[in-house]
Structure 1
Amino acid sequence: MNDHGASRGDTKGSPFGDKGQYSFSTCWNIRRQPGGRAMIEEIAALGFRRVELNYNVTREMLEEIEPMIERGEIGVSSVHNTFPHTPDPDYGTDSVLLGFDDEARRLKAVSLLVESAEYAHRYGGEAVVVHPGEVPIDPADVKRLEKLYHEAGRESQAYRAAWAVFLERRESAAGGYLQRIVASLDEACNLAASKGLNVRFGIETRSRPNQMPTLAEAKTVIEALRGAPVGIWYDTGHAIMMDRLGLYDSVGEMDGLMDHIVGVHIHETIGLSDHWCPYVHSGDPHFYDAYLPMIERAAVKVYELKAACLPEEIEAGHRLLTDKLAKRAAQAGR
C-alpha cells in the first residue's frame, strides 16, 4: 500500500477546483459521516486528493477507507496520533502522553506513537502529527484565564496578574515533562527506524497554554534530537491563540524553526475560536499573511477546519490563500 510522494486521489466530478498538494483533515466531517467511505467521498468532492486521518478515525472506519487508498481513490498525507482512535483518555489528545512520569504509561504512549507511524507509512503518508504532552494544570484554571481574556482583555491588570501566576506554575513544572518528551521521541524514532518506517514526526503547536510545546520548547526538542526525523508541526490557528494569550510570539519566535517545519495545519481564529477558513470568517484580508511563510515552507499542508465551515467557504478561503502564495512566489522569482 505504501506509495510515498504519489499524487493520488480522484477529484473527478467535484464542482470545486483540484486542490493539488493540499490535504484536508477528517476532523471536518467525522461526526457528520460515521462511515469511512462517505467521509472520504465528501472530502474528495471538495477537490482534495489527499486527506489527513485524524485521531477520531476508528478501526471500523479504516475497513472502508483502506480499500479506497489501495485503489488510489484517495491519498494520505499524514495521520494524527493517537491513530487509530484510542478511547483511553490517558492517550487522548489532551494528555501528558510522552511526558508521563509513570514509566509503564510513558512506554505505552511511545508504542502507540510508533503504531501511528506504521499506519502512516503503510498508507504512503509523509508524517505523523504529534501532541507531545502537557503540564498537568486543572482545565478550570485555563478556562478562567480565557474568560478573563474575553471579559477584561490581555492588557488588564486582572489578566496580567492571573497570567503571571499561571506562567510561573507552568514554567516551574515544565522541565521534567520536556525531558521525558525528548526521551520518548528518541525511543520512538529508534523503533521507527528499526521497522524501516519512512515518516517524520511533527510536534504540534497546541491550543491551550499548559500544553506543550511552546516554540522555545520545540527548539529544545529538535536540537536535542538533531538528525532524527523530528520537526515542528506548525498549527497556525493554535499558534495565533497562544500568541493572543501571551505564551509566545507566533511569528517572531519562528527564527531557527523555519527549516524544521514538517507540516502545517491551515486555519484561522476569531478571538480564541479556531478552525475557521483563512481570511473568510475573520473578514481580515491581511492578518493571516504573516503565516504564509510557514505554509510555504511546509512539505505537508493540511486544512484543519471545523464542521461549521461550508464547502463554498472552504473554496473561497483556499483561493484567497493560494492566490497570495502565488503572488509571493512570483515576487521572489520562483
Structure 2
Amino acid sequence: MGKDKGIYSFSTCWNIKKHNVGSSMIQEIKDLGFRYVELNYNVNDELLSTIEPMIERGEIGVSSVHNTFPHDPDPDYGTDSVLLGFDDEEKRQRSIELLLRSAEYAYRYGAKAVVVHPSEVPFDYNIDQALKGIYHEQGKDSDAYRQLWSEMIERRESLSGHYLQRVGDSLEEVCDRIAAKGWDVSIGIETRSRCYQMPTLREARTIFDRLPDAPVGLWYDFGHGMMMERMGLYDNAADMALIKDRVVGIHIHETVGLSDHWCPYVHSGDNEYFDRFLPIIAAAPVKVYELKAACTAEEIEESHDKLLYKLATLKV
C-alpha cells in the first residue's frame, strides 16, 4: 500500500487499458494511497457499473471527470477535435450537450470540475506530428523546423480569434445552464499537447476576461505546458501570472523531451525545471496526477514524496 495521498487525486488514464472491471481499476489506484480519482474520457458505462457503487459507499471520491464523459466513440467529439469551436451549429450544440452531460455526472459524483479540451485551429493534416518529427530529427533550430513552424503559427494566429469567439459563446451557454441547474461544478479548459490546439495561457486569459463571473477556469496541464514551451508556442514562467487567479485544477506530470505523462523529477532527472509550477500546485483547488502506464508504483511514491518536500520548503 502506498502512503495516504490526502487531497491529491489520480487519473484512471494510468491503468484503464489493463482493466475490464471498473472496481478493480479503482482498487489499484486506492492501493497507491489515493482517496480520489479523476475519471478520464475512456471510462465507459460498463466500467461505471462497478465504480458507481464504490462512489456511493464512500470507498472512493471523485475529484473531476474528463469530457466527454462517459466515453463517446465519435471522433468528432473526441479529445482532439474542434469541439466547442465548431462552425457547424448542429455539431457545436452537440458538443455543448456532451459537456453538460459530463457536468451532470461530475455533480452527481460530488466532483468539483470537468476537464475539457475546448478546441483547435483545424489543419488539413497533423502539422504537430510533422513538427515533432523534425524537432527530434533535426532540432528546433533547424531551417526545416523554423519554416514549418512559421507556416503553422501564421495560420494559427490568423484563425485563433474566430475559434476563441466560438469557444467563448459555447462556454457562456454551458455556464448559464449549469448555473440554472444549481450544479456546483467548474469547467476547466485544459492546456493542450499539440501546437495547433487551444488554449495557450494568453488565449485562456481572453476567455476569462469575457466570462469574469462564470464557473470556468484553466485546467493547467504542466506536461503539456512544458511541451508547448519546448516547441516555441508559449513561455510558462512568463505567462503564468496571467492565469494564476483562474486555475480550477491541474494535471501533474512531467515531460521528457516531447514525451509526456512521466513522474515529476524522477524520469527527467531534472530537479529544478518543474519547480516553476509549485506555486500553482500549492494553490490549485483540484490536484490530479495524470501519469502513463509505464510509471511504476515505486516511481509514483518517490515523485510524490519529492513534490511534497519541495512544496513544504516553498517560499511564497
TM-score range, shorter chain: over 0.9
Compute the RMSD of aligned alpha carbons.
Answer: 0.9
For 1:134, the equivalent position in structure 2 comes to 120
How far apart are the structure 2 equivalents of 1:167 and 1:145?
A: 12
How far apart are the structure 2 equivalents of 1:275 and 1:125?
A: 23
For 2:192, the equivalent position in structure 1 comes to 206
For 1:157, the equivalent position in structure 2 comes to 143
2:220·2:251 contact (CA, 8 Å) conserved in 1?
A: yes
Q: Is residue 29 of structure 1 aligned with residue 15 of structure 2?
A: yes
For 1:39, the equivalent position in structure 2 comes to 25
Counterpart selection for 2:216 from 230, 239, 254: 230
Mapping for residues 179-328 of structure 1, pairs under 5 Å: 179-328=165-314
Q: Is residue 17 of structure 1 aligned with residue 9 of structure 2?
A: no
- Any unmatched runs of 5+ in structure 1? 1-14
1:259·1:297 contact (CA, 8 Å) conserved in 2?
A: no
| Paired amino acid for 2:127 | D
How far apart are the structure 1 equivalents of 2:113 and 2:183?
A: 10
How far apart are the structure 1 equivalents of 2:126 and 2:105?
A: 35
Mapping for residues 167-178 of structure 1, pairs under 5 Å: 167-178=153-164
Secondary structure of the residue aligned to 2:250 is strand
Secondary structure of the residue aligned to 2:17 is coil
How far apart are the structure 2 equivalents of 1:193 and 1:64?
A: 30
Percent of residue pairs identical: 62
How far apart are the structure 1 equivalents of 2:56 and 2:251?
A: 25
Normalising by structure 2, we get a TM-score of 0.98
* C-alpha deviation, 1:45, in angstroms: 0.2
How far apart are the structure 2 equivalents of 1:256 and 1:167?
A: 21
How far apart are the structure 1 equivalents of 2:92 and 2:271?
A: 44
Counterpart selection for 2:37 from 35, 39, 51: 51
Secondary structure of the residue aligned to 1:257 is helix
How far apart are the structure 2 equivalents of 1:195 and 1:283?
A: 47
1:52·1:80 contact (CA, 8 Å) conserved in 2?
A: yes
Normalising by structure 1, we get a TM-score of 0.93
How far apart are the structure 2 equivalents of 1:20 and 1:115?
A: 28
* C-alpha deviation, 1:141, in angstroms: 2.1
Quickly say closer, same or farther: Cα 1:139–1:241, change in 2 above 3 A: farther
Report Cα offsets for 1:185-238 as digits up to 9, x if no partner: 000001111111101011000000010001111000111111000110000000
1:79·1:120 contact (CA, 8 Å) conserved in 2?
A: yes
Once the two structures are overlaid, the 10-residue window that deviates more, 307-316 or 288-297, is 288-297
* C-alpha deviation, 1:140, in angstroms: 3.3
How far apart are the structure 2 equivalents of 1:148 and 1:250?
A: 23
Secondary structure of the residue aligned to 1:299 is coil
2:22·2:51 contact (CA, 8 Å) conserved in 1?
A: yes
How far apart are the structure 1 equivalents of 2:187 and 2:34?
A: 23
Report Cα offsets for 1:9-57 as digits up to 9, x if no partner: xxxxxx2110000000000000011210010000000000000000000
For 2:76, the equivalent position in structure 1 comes to 90
| Paired amino acid for 1:256 | L
Secondary structure of the residue aligned to 1:203 is strand
Report Cα offsets for 1:138-157 as digits up to 9, x if no partner: 44322111111112221223
How far apart are the structure 2 equivalents of 1:109 and 1:65?
A: 25
Report Cα offsets for 1:115-141 as digits up to 9, x if no partner: 101100110100010110111114432
1:78·1:120 contact (CA, 8 Å) conserved in 2?
A: yes
For 1:144, the equivalent position in structure 2 comes to 130
Mapping for residues 47-86 of structure 1, pairs under 5 Å: 47-86=33-72
How far apart are the structure 1 equivalents of 2:301 and 2:156?
A: 40
- Any unmatched runs of 5+ in structure 2? none
**Corresponding residue pairs, total:** 316
